[in-house]
Homo-oligomer: A and B are copies of this chain.
Amino acid sequence: MKNSPSKQKVINAASALFFQKGFHGTSVRDIADQASVNVASISYYFNSKQGLLEYAVTNYYEDYLKSIESTLRQSELLTPIEKLQALISTIIQYKQNNFQLTCFIQRELSLDSVFVREMTVTYLAKENFYIRKTFFDAVGSQVKNEYKQYLLMQLKGMLVTPYILHNDWKNQVVGEYSHQIFVKKYVKVIKDWIDFAVFDGLELDKKVAY
């Protein structure tokens, strides 16, 4: 009987409220209200508020990494640069599909708690590994290491900004677009940036002489 309607209702409500008010800012009563279930259910399902958080976040990352790994497996025959594009597309896609949770986790991740550190070790290390490897494979050895590192940072920045400045982005850029259209457009923007940063501008000394 997994994912009974109520359990799922709680998770959905929690995602929305955590996104809106932060983890500490929302009480289990808020969640129960929003989900139209009794407060005690939350203890019943997840033991504690903390348990609920861990369940939601763990789930999020498990799925996230599964998507990434699946994409990398499927694009094994493509060129490194195509592979990178596929990866970026998958990542943005997933984040967009889990918009609220993405925003919430991104925010809470910059805190310094035991839980965050655990997540960093178990999941973010992997994410980082995949992105880094795929990016470096695509870039090749044409660019100096130190600058490559900078580019990687910038890429990672681009993968998260929509979920940090989401107030800006939804109003001014996304606008009437659906999530799907946003994914397409934004993936293209990142692709263009890579083309420039890594390939077009190679002759500029700033890249080699960094």
Contact = CB atoms under 8 A, between A and B. Distances in A.
Contacts of A126: none
A36 to B, nearest CB: 21
The complex is assembled from copies of this chain, and their number is 2
Q: Is the interface of A mostly helix, strand, loop or mixed?
A: helix
Interface in A80-128: 103, 106-108, 110-113, 120
A149 interface: yes
Q: How large is the interface on A (under 10, 10 to 19, 20 to 34, 35 or more residues)?
A: 35 or more
Contact of A173 (B23, B153, B201): B153
20 contacts: A20-B111, A20-B112, A21-B111, A21-B112, A22-B108, A24-B25, A103-B110, A106-B164, A107-B107, A107-B110, A110-B164, A110-B166, A149-B173, A150-B189, A153-B161, A153-B169, A156-B165, A160-B165, A192-B206, A196-B201
Interface of A: 20-25, 103, 106-108, 110-113, 120, 149-150, 153-154, 156-158, 160-161, 164-169, 172-173, 188-189, 192, 196-197, 200-201, 204, 206
